[in-house]
A and B are shown apart, each in its own frame.
Chain A
Amino acid sequence: MKTIMSALSLKKRIETRMGLHTDLGRRHGAWLLMTLPAVLWIVVFRYITLVGLGIAFIDYRPRRGIFGSDFVGLRNFEFLFRTEAALRATRNTVLLSLLFLVVSMVVALAVAYMIYQIYSSRMTKYYQTVLLLPNFISWVIVSYFVFALLATESGIVNVILRNMGRDQIAWYSSPQYWPFILLLAHMWNSLGWSSLIYLAAMLGIDPQLYEAATLDGANKFRQFFSVTIPLILPIVTLNFLLGLGNIFAQDFGLFYQVTRNRPQLYPTTDVLDTFIYRSIAGLGNIPMASAAQFYQSVVGFVLILSANWLIKRTSRSDQDLSIF
């Protein structure tokens, strides 16, 4: 009797636990069905490709397929790191990412602070719109106008140089200028978005703090460093660390389109993404490309985990900004 009772209560408990006979249970059925299309997409395009990183350890031959190709251990990586191009791409990726990260942060903060100071003005809306527009223009179009600016014979910059009596510069075959040119293109594209984010944070600051600072005799410049920055520091830190975490990945379009994929520019503009793309598309060397991809993904993974750890370490307990 006792066992029957406990079995019954167990059944009841399971049913309540699963919620099979309740409204909530039926609701869960509908809810799970709703998630299905997105889940399928995520599994196919993200999780399977994540597992697919494993092809870095086989000698992939399209004809023989993934499961028919030979396991070669670390051989692909040996080939990869013996090429000078891989090391160059790593160096370019890291240095350019750092350059972009630091410069855009400083400029975006400055622009956000300026917009904040005139926020009541009617012009604010126009500044924001105009600054945001480039973010929604494709890199193909950017490559078009960069060409209009830098073309050797008819480019605007060279025309100006000629008019000033200076020698014109063959921009598309002078790699030394390109870190700077790419930085400008990157800033043009992203400034609106990043300054908007900082502006949103600045608008959350209590204006009385500025009044107090003014009474203490702090000018606008001083206020920026002793009121604004300390108060939006969490967002700044978060963005900076996320940027550090993404140092190994770059915007493929910027480096592929804006440089017009010119081999002469590779010394300063070839990054891991363009290197990987070229290994597949140009050379058809999938083992090498997959080793480079694995390298990029794993280092990126480690960087993001470390950034997250750092965020956890630096943020106060009442406002944990870490991602997980």
Chain B
Amino acid sequence: MSTHTSTATTVQKPRRKKQSAGLQGSPGVRIHSRTLRLAVHLILAAIALTALAPFLIIVSSSLTSEQSLVVDGFAIWPRVLDTTAYQLIFERPERLYSAYSVTVYVSLFGTVLALLFMSMIAYPMSRTQFRYRKFFNLFVLIPMLFNGGIVPYYILVTQFLGLRNTLTILFLPPMISFYQIILLRAFFMQIPNEMFDAARADGAGEWRILFTIVVHLAKPAIATMALMTFLSYWNNWTTALYFIDNWRLYPLQYLLHQLMRDAEALALEPQLGGQALPTNAVRMAMAVLATGPAAAIFLMFQKYLVQGITLGSLK
């Protein structure tokens, strides 16, 4: 456990170094040679472009005609600009709307509950006076390392909890992340005890302290966790793969998975009926509609994320 207690002290380090390396500038770190610096920038830019290219391919394929995809193939830039795919989706949007509402509902509700429950366990674990600290540390650590895997989990959910084809199962499994509990605990540990003693002297109970002082002071940490949790809910398709077969409960990512599978099934047996075939352009348009909000949220809050991951790595 020695590694965790050291977090509080190591946490500030990178930021301080960042300033000394970045703002004041220290000759040893920077590259003097212009050519070398340019080369490094070029390599990094190339890697960054590779990271972005797939998004371009999806967007451009969604904005072109099916005809062009068949004749010219996929491309990073649309050869023919065409919005038919989107029009087709919004002509009969029931499935998309349904999946959207499931995903938005589950992601929002799940994130709020997850953060609430994780803060609630992380707060006592962060207090040195908490007598069962050691026990809880172990209690959280064991399942982080040893996993029962999906088979017992599958039987538990279907046979004992009876949660197959319910909304509940969609937001239950991704709720608690052990990694995030430990991160939150590390953040809460940085809050000095005097803060709490002062609040207690004023007659504040533990619940009030948690919801006012702790949550307030750890806002950046909680924002990071909220972003990660929200995106993991948004991107979750495995839960639906295991437990959902009612299309009204499909989350977005699982709907996309199904579209790909349907297309494949139809391609194998064309006589099943061609007109219902979701074309490549339509599927790519669905992918854009499903990923767009997540990507936008990521870009809005990414600066918190970089901090959060950096802190986590120093655990």
Contacts and interface: CB of A to CB of B under 8 A. Distances in A.
| A-B interaction | yes
Chain A interface bracket (under 10, 10 to 19, 20 to 34, 35 or more): 35 or more
A4 interface: no
In terms of DSSP, what is the predominant structure of the interface of chain A? Answer: helix
Contacts, number: 325
Contacts of B10: 204
Find the residue from B147, B156, B205, B298 having the highest chain A CB count within 10 A: B147
Interface string B34-51: 001100110111011011
A235 interface: yes
Nearest to B116: A37
Contacts of A48: 148, 152, 156
Contact of B305 (A65, A132, A208, A286): A132
Given A49-B152, A144-B284, A153-B73, A127 B206 contact: no
Interface stretch (B89-97, B104-112, B134-142, B218-226): B134-142
A207 B210 CA distance: 40
Contacts of A313: none
B253 interface: yes
B149 A276 contact: yes
Contacts of A192: 51
A293 B151 contact: yes
Contact of B140 (A42, A156, A211): A42
A258 to B, nearest CB: 11
B123 interface: yes
Nearest 6 CB-CB pairings of A with B: A52-B152, A49-B148, A211-B28, A210-B28, A46-B143, A138-B235
A167 B175 CA distance: 48
Interface string A128-159: 11111110111111111101110101111011
Contact of B145 (A47, A117, A276, A304): A304
A188 B151 contact: no
A225 interface: no
A196 B306 contact: yes
A27 B181 CA distance: 20
Contact of B302 (A53, A129, A290): A129
Find the residue from A130, A204, A277 having the highest chain B CB count within 10 A: A130
Contact of A45 (B44, B153, B155): B153
Contacts of A31: 123-124, 127, 130, 206
Interface of B: 1-3, 10, 13-14, 17-18, 20-23, 25-31, 36-37, 40-41, 43-45, 47-48, 50-52, 54-55, 57-58, 61, 69-70, 72-76, 116-118, 120-121, 123-125, 127, 129-132, 136, 138-141, 143, 145-156, 159, 161, 172-173, 175-176, 181, 200, 205-207, 210, 231, 234-238, 241-242, 253-254, 256-257, 260, 264, 280, 283-284, 287, 290-291, 294-295, 298-299, 302, 305-306, 309-310, 313-314
A37 B117 contact: yes
A212 B256 CA distance: 55
A199 B22 CA distance: 14
B14 A204 contact: yes
B147 A249 contact: yes
A120 B117 CA distance: 39
A204 B13 contact: yes
Contacts of A196: 306, 309-310, 313
A84 interface: no
A134 B37 CA distance: 26
A296 B181 CA distance: 26
B114 to A, nearest CB: 9
Nearest to B29: A207
A224 interface: no
Given A45-B172, A131-B47, 20 more contacts: A34-B210, A41-B175, A42-B139, A49-B149, A117-B30, A118-B37, A120-B30, A130-B51, A133-B55, A141-B256, A141-B287, A141-B290, A145-B54, A145-B55, A148-B74, A154-B280, A280-B154, A289-B151, A321-B3, A322-B3
